[in-house]
Structures are given as structure tokens and as C-alpha cells.
Amino acid sequence: MRYAKIPDQTIRRLPLYLRALFSVAEQGQPEVSSKDLAQYVGAHAWQVRKDFSFFGEFGRPGVGYSVPWLTEQIKMILRLDSEKKAVLVGVGNLGAAVLSFSGFRKYNLEIVAAFDADENRIGQSVNGVEVMDIACLGSVGQLDVTLAIVTVPGEVAQDMADQLVNVGIKGILNFTSCRLIVPDQVRVTNIDIGMDLASLPYYV
């Protein structure tokens, strides 16, 4: 199901709520309040209620939210109720670290293939994912994949993005400092570790 006019910030908070629900479930709590969720994600209770109001009535006054039910609802909204496959391009230090991350599974996300241009990496396996020749990137179209993670040097990032779009990728997680130019129907989320770190000294 698609929802109209949902603010981007609300969509970005949904995975935070989902992570909080995973933690609550691990503690054996069957229900959770908007106040508790707010504390988990660093927001206000009214913000939690407002975010959920875009999608209908989720909780019961004075009782809160059913943890299993709300978890499934958020997964459905984010389209994580079924497995989503991704590929990774660029298996350097950062790319290898991403491949080794074990937290994707709980979100029904799986990296099914990785690509690199370095002959020393091609054919190796990182956390069970085979590293393939970047020249084989066109084969992504045969993998039923719509998501990609880009961890290549900035100077080749746009070329990689172009190739990924050409084989049907609709969402790109971009770890490079390059601003990717893609068609309107392709979504790019940028993660610039250097830029994020550069803002911290202001606060300390």
C-alpha cells in the first residue's frame, strides 16, 4: 500500500521505531507506549503519535501499542514485510565492513552479490557474499534486485550509479561524497561519514 503526502522525516523515523520495537520485544514486553517509543528514538510522545496518525489508528488510549502488531504494521508500511535483496558495489574497507554487518536480516534485507574491480578481491567471499567482477554488473538484472549500496571511490560513483539504474535499480544507498544524478523514479540516500563527523566539533 502507498500513502500520499507522508513527510520524509516521518518515513525516516519509522526504522527508528522499528529498531526500538525489536529491543522492546527482546525484553519480553508485549505492549509499549508512545512515551516509551519516544524515549528510545529521542523524540517526543506527541511526535510518535503524529507520525503514526498518517497511517491510521495504531494504539489504544491508556494501553499503548501491541509490540508484535505494530512491528508488522511498520514493516508493511516500509515494504519490509517480504525479503528485499540488494547488491553492493565497491568491496574496499568500507564495503567489506558493510558486507560483514549482521543487522540487515532483522529488517528482511539481504545483500546477495558484491562487485569490485580489484582482481585480488574478485572471487573471494565476504560474510558469505561472493565478490564478482565489476564488468559483470549487468547481471544484476537477473537477480531480482532493486536496491544497491555504493561504496566506490567518488570519481567512479556516477558511472556506477548510471549502470545500476540501467539494470533496474530503484534505490541507492550512497556512501560516497559524490552527488549522484539519477532519474526521478530512483531514490538516493546519501551517507557521508566525513561530513557527519565534521559537524560534531561544533557540539563538543
pLDDT, residue 59, reads: 62
At residue 101, the 3 state secondary structure works out as coil
- 84-196 placed in CATH 3.30.450.20: no
Q: Where are the alpha helices (DSSP H) in the chain?
A: 8-26, 34-41, 45-53, 67-77, 93-100, 154-166, 193-199
Domain boundaries, the chain: 8-77, 84-196
CA distance 15 to 20: 9
| Cβ–Cβ under 8 Å, residues 146 and 168 | yes
Q: What is the pLDDT along the chain (204 residues), one digit of tens a residue?
A: 556 678 889 999 999 999 999 999 999 999 999 999 999 999 999 999 999 988 877 766 667 899 999 999 999 999 999 999 999 999 999 999 999 998 899 899 999 999 999 999 999 999 999 999 999 999 898 888 999 999 999 999 999 999 999 999 999 999 998 999 999 999 999 998 888 899 999 998
pLDDT, residue 57, reads: 72
Q: DSSP per residue over 104-122, as a string? A: SGGGTEEEEEEEES-TTTT
CA distance 62 to 65: 10
CATH of 8-77, one of 3.40.640.10, 1.10.10.10, 3.20.20.80, 3.40.50.20: 1.10.10.10
At residue 127, what are phi and psi to the nearest 5 degrees?
55, 40
Per-position b or e across 43-76, b if 16+ CB within 10 A of its CB: beeebbeebbeebeebbeeeebbbbeebbebbbe
At residue 64, the 3 state secondary structure works out as strand
Longest CA–CA separation in the chain, Å: 60
Global pTM reads: 0.88
